[in-house]
């Protein structure tokens, strides 16, 4: 009996993801099932649907449901200078290489609400690289992209951001870059002057040319293995010769079919360098 | 009668975990076949030393999980700090960075529920010592899917709240001491 029940839920999930793809061109069909299942159960529970099929009917007929469902299906958890040692490694080991180029392109894939974008923009300003750099910040979640462009965060997160920035080897004070008021902080406009925000999916969209550094952290963990291969392939083809790829602290290219396209550049911090061609 | 070997063993523990796991994991033989997947509550900002610590003491392999780690026999897998750990239906382990569950990331419920989804009746879930209720719902999910559920005897636990909650959600769970759990596992091989 239980067996049958479980299978019905799996069918419902497959159908819902298909519906989302056909109706709205959001493709979650190859995301890691365990997490998707959890998110959809949570969505049903919190929005009051008895079954995933009921949720599907609503989503198909009412497009205002889409952003709400996307809020469940895409996980927006981030911090500025998250894993400070990663940013320290970028600063101390990658930046010296980047300094040898007269112009730089950096891609932050899956930028969420911008925490990682402002972190890198500040780091590049501190290192004197900002003026020669264009940052491409992409995500599939429109609301997250808008939040990223606004650069406004709750004041109670600043203590952690400041601590992380300091641990990352920050050469300035984080408070130099924002104004606080009404329980929020607003990051300096000038930090996003060189940032292009855009809607881009690692699942369905194409390469982004000639990047010197791609930072894609904690995005591919939501994909299944074949889809991870697609994303890493996309990064491989988007990197300039000897370009760098940084991924999340608990992600790895060990299991990727493109593993030979990269060498470990800073092993502990999951920074890789493109090899060949 | 020897019970048939489950495809995997999942274990959850919190306060007192180190001592409890020190009884169970080192007792397993080098050729213990089922993979063992472990969630222990650890503070997010700490580098986890659990895998290193047990590697030195165990005959089975001990690994801290990275995303898409393939499951192998005779290996214990520890969740890294600050990520949820899930079993995937492709013979691999996955990580996610979603909200904490009952203030916990990694969460035992998340691991156990995914194990119930993937293995159905072919899993054994073991809930050990701990001071909160994480794991109880997951244990119930495993029981509902027909898997085996074992709870550390609260009387013998460093912190009784977690095994007690397990028993509240899962009254038919087998109640064993730590040595009893070791023996129970060794009978699978
Ligand atoms: C957990 S956040 C990671 C934020 C940040 N990179 C960090 O590590 O803190 C994951 C982000 O990936 C985005 N995402 C999910 N699927 C995507 C896809 N197919 N293409 C691009 N971004 C995606 C989500 O919308 C979300 O903003």
Ordered by where they begin, the domains of chain B are 8-186 (3.40.50.180)
> Chain B: nearest CA to A25, how far in angstroms?
24
SS3 B85: strand
Separation of alpha carbons A260 and B75, rounded Å: 27
- Taking CB atoms and an 8 Å limit, are A34 and B114 in contact across chains? yes
Residue A4 confidence class, pLDDT cut points 50, 70, 90: low
Average pLDDT over residues A133-157: 97
Closest CA to B149 of B111, B177, B121: B121
In a domain, A3, yes or no: no
In a domain, A270, yes or no: yes
Q: Are residues A44 and A174 in the same domain?
A: no
Residues of B with catalytic roles: 14, 41, 134
Is residue B138 within 8 Å of residue B112, measured between CB atoms? yes
- Taking CB atoms and an 8 Å limit, are A224 and B99 in contact across chains? no
Q: Are residues A13 and A116 in the same domain?
A: no
Separation of alpha carbons A63 and B188, rounded Å: 52
A246 lines ligand 1 (CB under 6 A): no
Q: What is the pLDDT of residues B5-47, one digit of tens each?
A: 899 999 999 999 999 999 999 999 999 999 999 999 987 766 7
Per CB-CB distance under 8 Å, the chain A contacts of B80 are 249-250
Q: What is the pLDDT of residues A209-222, one digit of tens each?
A: 899 999 999 999 99
Residue A277: predicted pLDDT? 65
> Chain B: nearest CA to A197, how far in angstroms?
23
Give the lowest-confidence range in A3-7, A271-275, B32-36: A3-7
Give the pair of three-digit tokens for residue A262: 């990269």
Give the pair of three-digit tokens for residue A151: 């650069």
The mean pLDDT value of chain A amounts to 95
Closest CA to A252 of A242, A243, A262: A262
Q: Are residues A166 and A238 in the same domain?
A: yes
User: How many A from CA of A75 to the centre of ligand 1?
Assistant: 7
Q: Are residues A106 and A229 in the same domain?
A: yes
Q: Are residues A64 and A90 in the same domain?
A: no
Give the pair of three-digit tokens for residue A85: 């040692």
In a domain, A79, yes or no: no
pLDDT tens, chain B, 189 aa long: 456 789 999 999 999 999 999 999 999 999 999 999 999 998 776 677 899 999 999 999 999 999 999 999 999 999 999 999 999 999 999 999 988 999 899 999 999 999 999 999 999 999 999 999 999 999 999 999 999 999 999 999 999 999 999 999 999 999 999 999 999 999 987
Q: What is the CATH number of the domain that holds A262?
A: 3.40.50.150
Q: Are residues A197 and A259 in the same domain?
A: yes
Handedness of CA B49, B50, B52, B56 (dihedral sign): positive
A108 lines ligand 1 (CB under 6 A): no
Residue A261: predicted pLDDT? 95
Q: Are residues A111 and A183 in the same domain?
A: yes
Q: Are residues A65 and A89 in the same domain?
A: no
In a domain, A1, yes or no: no
Quick one: which H or E segment has residue A150? helix A142-150
For residue A173, the enclosing domain spans 84-274
Q: Are residues A68 and A205 in the same domain?
A: no
SS3 B170: coil
Q: What is the pLDDT of residues A254-272, one digit of tens each?
A: 999 999 999 999 999 999 9
* Ligand 1 atom at minimal distance to the Cα of residue A113: 27
Residue B49: predicted pLDDT? 87
A152 touches chain B (CB under 8 A): no
C-alpha pair distances (Å), A98 with each of A65, A139, B115, B173? 43, 24, 45, 59
Separation of alpha carbons A14 and A80, rounded Å: 35
Tell me how many domains chain A contains. Answer: 2
User: How many A from CA of A139 to the centre of ligand 1?
Assistant: 6
User: How many A from CA of B182 to the centre of ligand 1?
Assistant: 41
Residue A1 confidence class, pLDDT cut points 50, 70, 90: very low
> Chain B: nearest CA to A250, how far in angstroms?
5
In a domain, A268, yes or no: yes
ipTM over 0.85: yes
Using a pLDDT cut of 90, give the percent of chain B over it: 89
Q: Are residues A118 and A28 in the same domain?
A: no
Handedness of CA B38, B62, A224, A212 (dihedral sign): positive
Whether pLDDT at A2 is above 70: no
SS3 B122: coil
Per CB-CB distance under 8 Å, the chain B contacts of A3 are 120
B97 touches chain A (CB under 8 A): yes
Give, as one character, the DSSP assignment of residue A216.
E
In a domain, A107, yes or no: yes
Q: Are residues A33 and A154 in the same domain?
A: no
Q: What is the largest CA-CA distance in chain A?
A: 65
Average pLDDT over residues A55-82: 95
Whether pLDDT at A5 is above 80: no
**Closest CA to ligand 1's atom 27:** A112
In a domain, A266, yes or no: yes
Q: What is the pLDDT of residues A157-186, one digit of tens each?
A: 999 999 999 999 999 999 999 999 999 999
Residue B1: predicted pLDDT? 43
Q: Are residues A46 and A121 in the same domain?
A: no
Residue of chain B whose alpha carbon sits nearest to that of A9 = B117
Where does a domain end: A73, A93, A120? Answer: A73
In a domain, A47, yes or no: yes
Where does a domain end: A37, A54, A73? Answer: A73
Helix axes A33-47, A52-61, angle to 10 degrees: 80
With a CB cutoff of 8 Å and minimum separation 6, the contacts of A117 are A108, A111, A135, A137, A148, A192, A195
């Amino acid at each position: 009996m239980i067996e049958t029940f479980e299978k019905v839920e799996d069918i419902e999930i497959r159908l819902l993801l298909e519906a989302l793809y056909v109706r709205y061109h959001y493709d979650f069909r190859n995301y890691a099932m365990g997490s998707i299942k959890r998110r959809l159960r949570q969505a049903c529970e919190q929005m009051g649907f008895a079954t995933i099929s009921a949720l599907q009917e609503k989503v198909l007929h009412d497009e205002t449901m889409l952003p709400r469902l996307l809020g469940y299906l895409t996980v927006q958890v981030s911090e500025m200078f998250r894993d400070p040692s990663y940013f320290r490694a970028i600063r101390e080991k990658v930046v010296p290489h980047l300094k040898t180029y007269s112009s730089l392109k950096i891609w932050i894939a899956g930028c969420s609400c911008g925490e990682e974008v402002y972190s890198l923009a500040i780091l590049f300003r501190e290192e004197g690289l900002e003026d020669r750099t264009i940052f491409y910040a992409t995500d599939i979640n429109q609301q997250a992209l808008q939040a990223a462009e606004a650069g406004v965060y709750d004041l109670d997160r600043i203590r952690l951001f400041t601590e992380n920035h300091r641990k990352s080897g920050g050469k300035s004070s984080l408070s130099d870059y924002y104004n606080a008021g009404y329980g929020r902080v607003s990051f300096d406009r000038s930090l996003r002057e060189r940032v292009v925000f855009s809607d881009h999916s690692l699942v369905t969209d194409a390469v982004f040319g000639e990047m010197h550094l791609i930072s894609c952290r904690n995005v591919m963990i939501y994909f299944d293995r074949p889809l991870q291969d697609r994303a890493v392939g996309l990064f491989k083809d988007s990197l300039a010769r000897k370009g760098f790829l940084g991924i999340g602290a608990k992600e790895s290219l060990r299991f990727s079919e493109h593993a030979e396209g990269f060498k470990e550049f800073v092993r502990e911090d999951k920074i890789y360098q493109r090899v060949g061609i | 009668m020897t019970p048939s070997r489950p495809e995997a063993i999942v274990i959850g523990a919190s306060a007192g975990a180190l001592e409890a796991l020190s009884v169970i994991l080192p007792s397993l033989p080098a050729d213990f076949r089922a993979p063992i997947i472990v969630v222990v509550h650890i503070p997010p900002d700490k580098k986890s030393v659990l895998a290193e610590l047990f590697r030195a003491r165990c005959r089975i392999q001990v690994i801290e999980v990275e995303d898409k780690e393939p499951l192998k026999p005779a290996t214990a897998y520890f969740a890294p700090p600050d990520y949820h750990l899930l079993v995937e239906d492709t013979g691999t382990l996955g990580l996610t960075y979603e909200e904490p569950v009952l203030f916990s990331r990694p969460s035992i419920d998340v691991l156990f529920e995914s194990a119930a989804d993937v293995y159905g009746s072919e899993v054994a879930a073991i809930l050990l010592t701990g001071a909160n209720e994480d794991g109880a719902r997951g244990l119930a999910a495993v029981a509902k899917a027909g898997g085996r559920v074992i709870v550390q005897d609260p009387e013998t636990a460093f912190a009784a709240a977690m095994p007690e909650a397990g028993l509240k959600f899962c009254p038919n769970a087998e109640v064993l001491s730590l040595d009893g759990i070791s023996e129970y596992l060794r009978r699978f091989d």
